[in-house]
Structure 1
């Protein structure tokens, strides 16, 4: 079973308490298609809740892997009629939305939506509201976005419905905007001119621990109506967080220079320039970092016990987010991840700028040859059989690899006609072999063992086609730091000669009658 149907470990103790009549309680989620909500929704289903979501686009919400098991109500949080309909017979309300815009009027919009939801929850007799707010210091001037989140929490606390406001800082998980800013800044820049807030102390929290507290919040005593801070076990300066990421990602630690002249506006332009995080997202994140944000007390532990094994240390959370704990492969890249993965994994619902940077070169050609014949050519590639394109360029790449201490092309291959997992093929290692069948065809995946500033794979497929077969070829490269990005740009001009020729000659070789 997948995690969607079978809760595991940390979530077992957070299962729903049935109603007096034995039925499952109803959880309403506002923001189910967002970063946190997309991970919480299937876990609430796992925990035994009947889940209802309020979404602006019902068709989009229903298309999620968890969508068929949810009741979807179409509408927005500031629409009293839609919110009232969604609140019918609800036990717990999760409010996981907030504006991420630098435009005018967002504070008023946040307050209006929170008021509509608070009034509807009180009228419907909801037992609890759970709001994920922002960790912030007291008695200081807050950024507009943090100020708005504090105000939203106050509205819910004054609603008459028992409310638990969980105030979190930087969330560490693939797809989290805060984490993606750390990831991309660290990977791209070996030297980082940064605002002076890189010296501020922050208490990050792993996404798995945020989900633990959110699940636990549905079960707290009805007398509890308060805001509590949540954070991981480590208090770090922002610069330390960047260098902690560098260590876990296998990069050299970054030189960071704090400059007093970088205002939030200038810093957000800088983030937008060197990372894929949009300026509209970067600006409120940068503004929220102007103050130190650490947990003031651990009173949350008296309400929701910490997860079994304790909270996740920062570097462990980074490890989980970048996929080094479970060795990354092409099949578990950010493009292919599914909702049933771990909380730290990227989801299809995450924004397109989330996840590790990945470069691909994909080719597809039809062939008159049978799938079996095409497969025999694919599985025999390399060694004395060659790479079916530009022998000189392949030889040059092999020489370059040997010059820097790599294995080059000298290893050859064990067999000219077959391959098995673990075999060496020149400077590649066989990572997966799936023999062809009538439905799915065959797959040969090779992982590069040449010296490159990153991780590289080559996938070759023989697929069934109405006219014979179809050949699919995909080169995938995860760059490591700035050097990895420059390497990909340097070899990009040669891809046309190497990969296009390779695809054409493999399909042509498959069509030559066997002797």
Structure 2
């Protein structure tokens, strides 16, 4: 981390990171380790962090900000707590975040924590501010009024590979060379690069001053959203975009427009758009009195875009906004074991085929599924299913995946989530599309009768909920012969073709 702290540095602190499976927390934790701190990560499921590269460098504990007892246990012996949890997109998110903040403040006091650090949003100075901004402000106030000193960093749009705000900007600009936009595209914004957000987050843990206040943070450029789209196009090598602001598009219509064009679903787009209807410009830069700006200087918008696009091109996206489970889905439970199905109904579709490729080649094909690769059968049917899911408020297929060839437990893959992965053997995906029941797609790789062959086993499982669940399975069953059989067949063909590729001669 570049930049020197003006009041000196503290090494070897004990730090708790909540929200470590999220976009910011997943980047912050390994950087804190690199600074020499002892890092503990709080997550509702320890398995969600099992496969991240830095898992062995931190202590992982299970708990929830909604559970005061688990919070007190997680904070025991810690010096600094990062509060990076929010319920964006969930029903009743304002109460969830209010209660979570109160629990964190109380647990920090009981555990003798020295400082809480919270990453919030711009301070709403308008009574008509969006519910998202009001909630962020309310959380900040709860923490600042607690007995444990708190630092609140108020960030506007964060520019970085994989952030929801960046994905929204990227897809709007790349997909629409000409667009009619709402009036908020003329509002001023002070975007900040993710690397600078992390710089301030880490710096604020290490300063020795007694601080209990909020700080505005932002990059060096103040732009309108229209200017951001035009400058993104220039950096990305696209033609100049034609942008026409109109009065007719309300925030509600704008959110649906964003949901239609970008991978960001309506439940996330609504609060993001709601934040953009207000100007978000830093009113002070007092943070520099405590944490010096990076030696290289704050990252300009164009450079932040260049860095993000390079990460995407290099398939080196560290974390993505899809890291958190999709809110509102009832499918958070793992695939039940067979004995637990007794007395209930379970529908399955099972396929097995011999593959003329090694198990390693077959596994590479399996773990590259989804995203740009697709699902190996009837693309139109998968696309239609994705459109229907978006139409009823689901995530749809455009959520994609973080990396084109590597998966971690808990990652999103289009409208699925990785529930289990055993390298070389098993990939199990849990459905996060809207369904009248719970569904899984399981893919297994087994050795064949020779070294150059493998067995591919595929199983789709559906546990219906009520009459609607049974009707749903009956309605889609006629298509399974095309979709699932074609999927198994084409995965086998892709693995065989990959196995026949000649090895380059050096």
Give the TM-score normalised by the residue count of structure 2: 0.64
Give the 5 Å matches for 1:75-224: 75-101=63-89, 103=91, 105-224=92-211
Q: 1:10 to 1:468 in 2, by over 3 A?
A: farther
Unaligned runs of 5+ in 1: 1-7, 19-23, 340-344, 353-363, 372-463, 472-499, 511-515
Q: Where does residue 20 of structure 2 map in the other structure?
A: 32
Q: Where does residue 230 of structure 1 map in the other structure?
A: 217
Q: 1:122 to 1:186 in 2, by over 3 A?
A: same
Report the secondary structure of 1:277's partner residue. Answer: coil
Report the CA distance between 1:469 and its aligned residue. Answer: 4.8
Give the 5 Å matches for 1:430-441: none
Report the CA distance between 1:73 and its aligned residue. Answer: 1.8
Report the secondary structure of 1:129's partner residue. Answer: strand
> Does the 8 A contact of 1:243 with 1:253 survive in 2?
yes
Aligned mates of 1:176, 1:503 — CA distance in 2 = 33
Kindly provide the CA deviation profile for residues 55-78 of structure 1, in whole angstroms up to 9, marking residues without a partner as x: 111121233222222222212101
The size of the alignment, in residue pairs, is: 353
Report the secondary structure of 1:218's partner residue. Answer: helix
> Does the 8 A contact of 2:180 with 2:243 survive in 1?
yes
Aligned mates of 1:169, 1:266 — CA distance in 2 = 22
Please give the root-mean-square deviation of Cα atoms over the aligned residues, in Å. 3.3
> Does the 8 A contact of 2:14 with 2:39 survive in 1?
yes
Q: 1:319 to 1:60 in 2, by over 3 A?
A: same
Q: Where does residue 279 of structure 1 map in the other structure?
A: 266
Q: 1:267 to 1:469 in 2, by over 3 A?
A: same
Aligned mates of 2:499, 2:74 — CA distance in 1 = 56
Q: 1:367 to 1:65 in 2, by over 3 A?
A: closer
Aligned mates of 1:187, 1:270 — CA distance in 2 = 15
Which among 354, 366, 369 is matched to residue 356 of structure 2?
Answer: 366
Aligned mates of 1:217, 1:466 — CA distance in 2 = 59
Report the CA distance between 1:30 and its aligned residue. Answer: 0.8
Unaligned runs of 5+ in 2: 327-353, 362-446, 455-491
Report the secondary structure of 1:35's partner residue. Answer: coil
Q: Where does residue 252 of structure 2 map in the other structure?
A: 265
> Does the 8 A contact of 1:233 with 1:311 survive in 2?
yes
> Does the 8 A contact of 2:6 with 2:290 survive in 1?
no
Q: 1:316 to 1:14 in 2, by over 3 A?
A: farther
Report the CA distance between 1:217 and its aligned residue. Answer: 0.7
Q: 1:467 to 1:140 in 2, by over 3 A?
A: same
Aligned mates of 1:283, 1:162 — CA distance in 2 = 32
258-267 or 287-296, larger mean C-alpha shift: 258-267
Report the secondary structure of 1:318's partner residue. Answer: helix
Question: Does residue 41 in structure 1 map to residue 34 in structure 2?
Answer: no
Give the 5 Å matches for 1:313-324: 313-323=300-310
> Does the 8 A contact of 1:200 with 1:291 survive in 2?
yes
